[in-house]
């Protein structure tokens, strides 16, 4: 299968491309510069440009590009970058796909459980409405930007991803050194829910979206049972065999992270109803095994 991937240099994109290639798929990576390798093609999200030859003959497009939510403090300028990198990029890809004489059969667009906002103790699935605040508003615009592809008859699925348990990058990658040093602990009161997924299961779920015809629209990519930050903290200490007594007060996080702290301290109890209904089987449904899997990859 010929599959086009954006965001191939990120944590998830790198692992996805590696997995697909190991199974013999032909991968085209869209890059925002002049191509330097045979498998690369150029695109420019801000100009709405996708090299015409990039999508030709493709059977699937997986669009994962977007500025890291936790990479910088949320200034007004960086919030625009978070929004524009997702909305403009998705618009460019969806428009290019819709204009093709023979478009791919599926467009898998990255999204996030940030769509739901702070759900508190309430468990939600894909039927829940969007929350309020910056990240939910970004997710709503992000998914809406794929409308041209869906209108052209291309099956379009939104991978609403939770916190990916990985040692080599992402938000969790920043936690491992802290816990290994024995200075990890709960964040705030620790009662907020974290909806996580192992990197292996994230990649398997994305591949499941590519090949499962009945899956379109939003699909939550999270482990079956979310856990509280307090429970995850205990699991990190248990697996790494380190103390976890250094709690980080909520006030200190607000000083250090600014507006982004509200999302870290917020609670998202998200379940993958549609993924489970479609027959997907998790390899690492529990947090201990997800942490061990991340350590085995590092």
pLDDT above 70 covers a percentage of the chain that reads 96
Measured between alpha carbons, how far is residue 224 from residues 164, 253, 263 in Å? 14, 28, 21
Helices (H) and strands (E) in the chain, counts: 12, 14
Query: Regarding beta strands 106-112 and 60-63, do their DSSP bridges make them parallel or antiparallel, or are they unpaired?
Result: parallel
Number of domains in the chain: 1
Q: Mean pLDDT, the chain, as a whole number?
A: 94
Q: Which residue bears the tokens 């024995």? A: 182
Over residues 257-268, the pLDDT tens digits come to 577 666 667 899
Please tell me the distance from the alpha carbon of residue 60 to that of residue 47, in angstroms, as a whole number: 23
Digit-coded pLDDT (tens) for 163-179: 999 999 888 888 899 99
Q: Tokens in use for 229?
A: 């930050």
**In CATH, what number is assigned to the domain containing residue 212?**
3.40.50.720
**pLDDT tens by residue, 111-131:** 999 999 999 999 999 999 999
Query: Could you tell me the CA-to-CA distances from 210 to 32, 60, 105 in Å, in that order?
Result: 24, 7, 9
- State the Cα–Cα distance between residues 99 and 108, nearest whole angstrom: 17
Cα-based distances in Å from 10 to 7, 17, 55, 67, 183 = 6, 10, 20, 10, 27
What is the domain extent for residue 84? 2-297
> What tens digit of pLDDT does each residue of 5-57 get?
999 999 999 999 999 999 999 999 999 999 999 999 999 999 999 998 999 99
Paired with 52 in beta bridges are: none
Please tell me the predicted confidence (pLDDT) of residue 257.
58
Model pLDDT for residues 46-91, shown as the tens digit of each residue? 999 999 899 999 999 999 999 988 778 889 999 999 999 999 999 9
Q: Do 154 and 104 touch, CB atoms closer than 8 A?
A: yes
Query: Does the CA dihedral 228-234-239-245 come out positive or negative?
Result: positive
Q: Is there a contact between 12 and 1 (Cβ–Cβ < 8 Å)?
A: no
Asked if 117 and 126 touch (Cβ cutoff 8 Å), the reply is no
Whether the pLDDT of residue 244 is over 60: the answer is yes
91-95, 150-154, 197-201, 242-246, range with the lowest pLDDT: 242-246
Q: Give the predicted TM-score (pTM) of the model.
A: 0.95
């Amino acid at each position: 299968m010929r599959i086009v991937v954006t965001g191939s240099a990120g944590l998830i994109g790198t692992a996805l491309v590696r997995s697909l290639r190991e199974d013999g798929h032909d991968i085209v990576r869209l890059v925002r510069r002049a191509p330097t390798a045979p498998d690369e093609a150029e695109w420019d999200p801000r100009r709405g440009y996708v090299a015409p030859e990039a999508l030709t003959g493709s059977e699937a497009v997986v669009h994962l590009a977007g500025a890291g939510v936790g990479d910088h403090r949320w200034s007004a300028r960086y919030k625009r970058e978070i929004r524009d990198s997702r909305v403009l990029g998705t618009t460019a890809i969806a428009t290019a796909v819709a204009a093709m004489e023979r478009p791919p059969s599926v467009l898998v667009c990255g999204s996030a459980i940030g769509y739901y906002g702070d759900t508190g103790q309430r468990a939600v699935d894909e039927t829940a409405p969007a929350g309020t605040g910056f990240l939910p508003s970004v997710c709503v615009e992000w998914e809406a930007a794929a409308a041209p592809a869906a209108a052209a008859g291309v099956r379009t699925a939104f991978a609403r991803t939770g916190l990916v348990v990985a040692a080599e990058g992402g938000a969790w990658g920043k936690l491992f050194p802290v816990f290994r040093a024995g200075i990890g602990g709960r964040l705030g009161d620790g009662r907020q829910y974290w909806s996580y997924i192992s990197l292996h299961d994230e990649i398997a779920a994305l591949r499941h979206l590519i090949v499962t015809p009945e899956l379109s629209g939003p699909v939550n990519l999270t482990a079956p049972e979310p856990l509280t930050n307090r429970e995850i903290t205990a699991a990190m200490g248990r697996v790494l065999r380190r103390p976890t007594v250094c709690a980080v007060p909520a006030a200190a996080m607000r000083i250090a992270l600014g507006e982004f702290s509200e999302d870290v301290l917020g609670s998202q109890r998200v379940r993958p109803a549609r993924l489970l209904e479609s027959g997907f089987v998790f390899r690492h449904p529990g947090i201990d095994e997800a942490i061990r899997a991340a350590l085995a990859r590092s």
